[in-house]
Amino acid sequence: MRARSGRLGVGVVGAGRVGAVLGAALAGAGHAVTGISAISTANRERAEALLPGVPILPVPEVVERSELVLLAVPPDELPGLVDGLAATGGWQAGQLVVHTAARYGTRVLAPATAAGAIPLAIHPAMSFTGTSLDLTRLAETWFAVTAPTPVQPIGQALVVEMGGEPVLIAEEDRPVYAEAIETVSTFSRSVIEQAARILSGLGVEAPGRVLSSLARSTVEDALSRAQPDSIDLADLPPDGFDELREDQ
């Protein structure tokens, strides 16, 4: 499956806005995307646009042919998906299994871990459009990484390869982290939409454009008062994951 030493065969389960984009980011880092699952017409079109030439396959086949499985499904569907694949013997020993749900750490992957898979929870703190525009935005995005201590460098390295910045979040802190993420996305969207409706009621054309500079400058000012600590990435594996995986 490997394109070259240290590269992984990546399977993407879920061609929604997040899955297809992260799959494309991993492909851009040199990994070989072996397959992606997509059911709806919109998701199939997204997969074909962002991952041209990658086969669209049933979920069990995506998992079977992949060294790294990226589970990018709605959070409510994740536990059942992991359990179902375990019940059918879908998980493989030594396989990296990564999910992107903010609220969960790696405990939700316990059925895969019991089969010998290596669990990772990686959540990008970003609003996705599901287009190639997101690939550029990843460069300024922080990713929450939750994993057993020996596996944390693998998660950090994957984030860096996708162009993002990793921040370690403890297993027990994932629900609070998810609340913070939801607070920002929900309230930011709600406030801007409300302001836009008020301006529109005044007859202002393109209220979004009128508010854009104010909204961006206000957010940037707020963020400047809450800069995250820098992450020391000096111990990340410089050329792949083989040595780390052999230790698991």
Q: What is the mean pLDDT of each run of 10 residues along the chain (248 residues)?
A: 64 96 97 96 96 97 97 97 97 97 97 98 95 93 97 97 96 95 79 85 87 74 64 48 40
Chain-centroid distance, C-alpha 193: 26
Neighbours of 196 (CB within 10 A): 18
State the pTM of this model.
0.79
> What pLDDT score does 43 carry?
96
Q: Which residues are CB-contacts of 178 (< 8 A; sequence separation ≥ 6)?
A: 102, 103
- Of 71, 59, 112, 108, whose CA–CA distance to 89 is shortest? 112
- Confirm if 142 and 167 have CB atoms less than 8 A apart: yes
> What pLDDT score does 233 carry?
46
> What pLDDT score does 3 carry?
36
Helix, strand and coil in the chain, % to nearest 5: 50, 15, 35
> What pLDDT score does 191 carry?
81
Q: How far apart are alpha carbons 86 and 114 in whole angstroms?
A: 9
Radius of gyration over every alpha carbon of the chain, rounded to an integer in angstroms: 19
Report pLDDT digits (tens) over 226-248: 765 544 444 544 444 444 443 33
Q: How far apart are alpha carbons 194 and 93 in whole angstroms?
A: 50
Query: Encoding tokens for residue 216?
Result: 């961006």
Q: How far apart are alpha carbons 2 and 6 in whole angstroms?
A: 8
Query: Encoding tokens for residue 229?
Result: 């600590």
